[in-house]
Amino acid sequence: MSDDKKPTQPVKRKRNKGQSLTLRDVAKMAGVAPITASRALNTPEAVSDKILARVRDAVERTGYVPNLLAGGLASRKSRLVAALVPTITGSVFLETVQALTATLAASGYQMMLGQSGYVESREDALLEAIIGRRPDGVVLTGIMRSPLARRRLAASGIPVVETWDLTPTPVDMLVGFSHEKVGAAVAEYLHRRGRRHLAAIIADDERAARRNKAYSDTACALGVAGGNAAVPSHIVPAPSSVASGREGLRALLAQHPGIDAIFCSSDMVALGVMIEAQAQGIAIPQQLAVVGLGDLALSKDLHPALTTVRVDGTLIGQTAARYIIQRAEGKPVADPVCDVGFTIIERHSA
């Protein structure tokens, strides 16, 4: 029977976790010979439109990405780990990047850093390029929600660690914390400190939105949303900045002049709020309590010192690196999901 007439077949061979999907698997699903599948991917003009469509459909369904290094290395190990962060201007991630780099280097691995932005399609394109070069591991900031990217990562067999978030369904391994618990804890903290008219300035990314929803829901349940159905919130572009904080406070006060506490999506936003409050003659914390997120090095030296949510970025980076190294060397990871938690650092601003 010719390749054109072979029916599409599912891949029946079971793969162990960490075992890469191969071109042979794709060819079997498409109902063609491996050499025909190779031609379809590398020289599509050499095959019929029907064959090309079947192979491309199999690639889409499996998430297969061709290995750009196949045949080019004597060893299957690249000693390279790729890490993706939304932005290199977001200093909250620097602690994790530094710890990841140092821990990997101590075991003879090098790290390649990519900036994915906050747009899902951009992250998908970057991941495709990375997977094609077959690093020994991939470390992601946040949870991978793109179905296509999840299929590609699973099909590659490359060890993956998602960080800075929690989910019951990680792609592979996970080191992070609950943004929902952060939001709820900050609302409870401000309530205990006697604040009754809460507000928020949040970045327009998915993790910040979940954090703010929990903050708002908890505030409403405690009766500290200023009589509103939700906490007054002002959304700023991610990555957020000092300017975002200044503009956010002006916008909130114009609509809600009675607010007495603000939870900010980052310490930089909180710094902007404090600068704007000073410019308007608003006393912190007497009239307005301010809480940030990230516990940057400068936060304790502000006047007043900034109350903030501390996440151990060093522990995240070290644990993620250890997971990648263990899996790359064929060792099992006993507990592939690690919740590092968080701490509210109480200082004078709240």
pLDDT in tens, 233-277: 999 998 888 999 999 999 999 999 999 999 999 999 999 999 999
Say if residue 66's pLDDT is above 80.
no
Say if residue 145's pLDDT is above 80.
no
For residue 20, which of 82, 73, 76 has the smallest C-alpha distance?
76
Q: Which two tokens stand for residue 304?
A: 């007043």
pLDDT for 179 equals 97
Q: How distant is the alpha carbon of residue 197 from its chain centre?
A: 31
Q: Where are the domains of the chain?
A: 3-62, 80-177+314-341, 179-310
Judge whether 181 and 342 are in contact, CB under 8 Å. Answer: yes
Note the CATH number of domain 80-177+314-341: 3.40.50.2300
Say if residue 1's pLDDT is above 50.
no
Judge whether 155 and 147 are in contact, CB under 8 Å. Answer: no
pLDDT in tens, 177-226: 999 999 999 999 999 999 999 999 999 989 999 999 999 999 999 998 77
Say if residue 311's pLDDT is above 90.
yes
What predicted TM-score, i.e. pTM, was given to this entire model?
0.80
CATH class of 179-310: alpha beta
Note the CATH number of domain 3-62: 1.10.260
CB atoms within 10 A of CB 10: 8
